[in-house]
């Protein structure tokens, strides 16, 4: 949100050589604030716990299976830069997640997702530092308890962990995921001719057209999850509201578009004091701080 915020104490975590120092900060205070890009938080004016800014870098090939490339990426790497690098190095699979702000280490926290792909489908596991047991731990995808914008990292258990590395598992036999209407233009192409780079380019173009750039209009991304309801509920709603936007899920449930619902409530472009809903995308919120318009998105 680009709101002013002061941390009493802060450390930039760059490599494992600093783990002892970070652990000492935890031992002294009993808790830490951990931030990557700070794109998904609204910070208080003062952070009274020691703050760790995760800035570690590094991309390494960890190995391969018959079906996947296994790549270890340090938590402090920028997410979008990593997506670009993965494509440039011939490891497709992350193109639908292009242009999501933030860092690699924060990505498992809410199991980032966009345009039909979620992080959990593209990783093998996560290496963490556990401040309570004072050691490293490896979490498999099952251990991470991923859900829709959810994971164990948001639970009490995960509050004392810092993500160090994410191990990606990227498919050798890549297939495009083009289920979202914004990507349907690519389905008109000859079967098998769409490339990961084209999907990436399309996702970037759509996001740039729809969403405010946080560096121009500060915002915190989505402020509502898309509600997931039963098929019967969706059908009843559809009868009452024929233009209802719905996405059937593989498990038979139906996801509704929170942006559409907010729009129906007449909130698109609406201001409430210093806060406003984005005028192009109802999922997005904005806030006016002094003379400055700050955006937060749904
Ligand atoms: C314009 C905009 C569009 C967005 N679009 C999407 C989207 O399409 N899909 C989507 O899923 N999200 C989206 N988001 C949300 C945001 O991009 C993600 O939540 C992203 O993962 C945040 O990364 P960050 O590094 O900025 O995390 P931060 O804001 O720094 O932190 C977020 C949370 O993760 C924790 N955390 C961060 N790093 C670590 C670490 N190394 N170890 C442990 N905990 C950590 C923090 O403590 C905090 O609780 C969007 C946000 C914006 C502003």
Please tell me which residue, 276 or 128, carries the higher pLDDT value.
128
258 found inside a domain: yes
SS3 196: helix
Residues 6+ apart with CB under 8 A from 21: 11
Nearest to 170 by CA among 121, 100, 111, 97: 121
Does the pLDDT of residue 246 top 60, yes or no?
A: yes
pLDDT band with cut points at 50, 70 and 90 for residue 216: confident
Q: Which atom of ligand 1 is nearest to the CA of 107?
A: 21
CA 114 to centroid of ligand 1, rounded, Å: 13
188 found inside a domain: no
Domain endpoint, select from 155, 171, 187: 171
Please tell me which residue, 267 or 296, carries the higher pLDDT value.
267
265 found inside a domain: yes
**What is the CATH classification number for the domain harbouring 244?**
3.90.78.10
Q: Which residues line ligand 1 (CB under 6 A)?
A: 34-41, 54, 75, 100-103, 105-107, 109-110, 112-114, 153, 162-163, 211, 214, 219-221, 297
The pLDDT score that the predictor gives to residue 293 is 42
Alpha carbon distance 113, 238 (integer Å): 25
The pLDDT score that the predictor gives to residue 142 is 98
CA 61 to centroid of ligand 1, rounded, Å: 24
CA 94 to centroid of ligand 1, rounded, Å: 16
- Kindly report the protein residue whose alpha carbon is nearest to atom 37 of ligand 1: 106
- Structural domain for 149, as ranges: 59-171
Nearest to 218 by CA among 296, 156, 140: 296
Q: Which atom of ligand 1 is nearest to the CA of 103?
A: 25
215 found inside a domain: no
The pLDDT score that the predictor gives to residue 290 is 42
154 and 75 belong to one structural domain? yes
123 and 31 belong to one structural domain? no
178 found inside a domain: no
Q: Which atom of ligand 1 is nearest to the CA of 109?
A: 34
The pLDDT score that the predictor gives to residue 186 is 86
The pLDDT score that the predictor gives to residue 282 is 66
- Kindly report the protein residue whose alpha carbon is nearest to atom 4 of ligand 1: 221
Please tell me which residue, 257 or 74, carries the higher pLDDT value.
74
Domain endpoint, select from 125, 147, 171: 171
153 and 130 belong to one structural domain? yes
71 and 160 belong to one structural domain? yes
240 found inside a domain: yes
The domain tally of the chain equals 3
271 found inside a domain: yes
30 and 79 belong to one structural domain? no
Contact 40, 106 (CB under 8 A): yes
Note the pTM of the prediction, 2 decimals: 0.92
40 and 70 belong to one structural domain? no
Does the pLDDT of residue 129 top 60, yes or no?
A: yes
CA 38 to centroid of ligand 1, rounded, Å: 7
48 and 124 belong to one structural domain? no
pLDDT band with cut points at 50, 70 and 90 for residue 288: low
223 found inside a domain: no
pLDDT digits (tens, 9 = 90+) for 189-200: 777 789 999 999
Q: Which residues pair with 113 in a beta bridge?
A: 118
In the chain, the percentage of residues whose pLDDT exceeds 90 is 70
20 and 71 belong to one structural domain? no
pLDDT digits (tens, 9 = 90+) for 150-191: 999 999 999 999 999 999 999 999 999 998 888 988 887 777
**What is the CATH classification number for the domain harbouring 149?**
3.30.465.10
CA 127 to centroid of ligand 1, rounded, Å: 18
pLDDT digits (tens, 9 = 90+) for 86-124: 999 999 999 999 999 999 999 999 999 999 999 999 999
In the chain, the percentage of residues whose pLDDT exceeds 70 is 94
Does the pLDDT of residue 296 top 50, yes or no?
A: no
137 and 164 belong to one structural domain? yes
Q: How far from 120 is each of 113, 176, 277, 296, CA to CA, in Å?
A: 9, 17, 30, 25
- Kindly report the protein residue whose alpha carbon is nearest to atom 34 of ligand 1: 106
Q: Which residue has the tokens 């009868």?
A: 239
């Amino acid at each position: 949100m680009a709101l002013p915020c002061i941390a009493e104490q802060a450390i930039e975590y760059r490599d494992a050589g600093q783990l002892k120092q970070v652990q000492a900060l935890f031992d002294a205070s009993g808790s830490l604030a951990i931030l990557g890009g700070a794109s998904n938080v609204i910070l208080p004016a003062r952070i009274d716990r020691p703050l760790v800014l995760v800035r570690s870098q590094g991309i390494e090939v960890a190995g391969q299976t018959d079906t996947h490339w296994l790549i270890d990426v340090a938590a402090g790497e920028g997410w979008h830069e990593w997506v670009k690098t993965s494509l440039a190095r011939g490891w497709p699979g992350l193109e639908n997640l292009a242009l999501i702000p933030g860092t690699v280490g924060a990505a498992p926290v809410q199991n980032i997702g966009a345009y039909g792909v979620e992080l959990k489908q593209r990783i093998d596991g996560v290496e963490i530092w556990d401040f309570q047991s004072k050691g490293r731990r490896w979490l498999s995808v099952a251990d991470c308890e991923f859900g829709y914008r959810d994971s164990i990292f948001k639970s009490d258990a995960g509050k004392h962990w810092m993500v160090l590395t994410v191990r990606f598992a990227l498919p050798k036999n890549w297939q495009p995921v083009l289920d979202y209407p914004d990507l349907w233009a690519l389905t008109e192409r000859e079967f098998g001719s769409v490339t990961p780079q084209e999907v990436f380019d399309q996702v970037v173009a759509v996001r740039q057209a729809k969403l405010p750039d946080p560096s121009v209009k500060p915002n915190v991304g989505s402020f509502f999850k898309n509600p997931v309801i039963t098929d019967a509920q969706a059908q009843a709603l559809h009868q009452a509201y024929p233009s209802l936007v719905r996405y059937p899920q593989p498990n038979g449930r139906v996801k509704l578009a929170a942006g559409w619902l907010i729009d129906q409530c007449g909130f698109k472009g609406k201001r409430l004091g210093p806060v406003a809903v984005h005028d192009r995308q109802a999922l997005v919120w904005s806030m006016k701080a002094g003379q400055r318009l700050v955006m937060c998105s749904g």
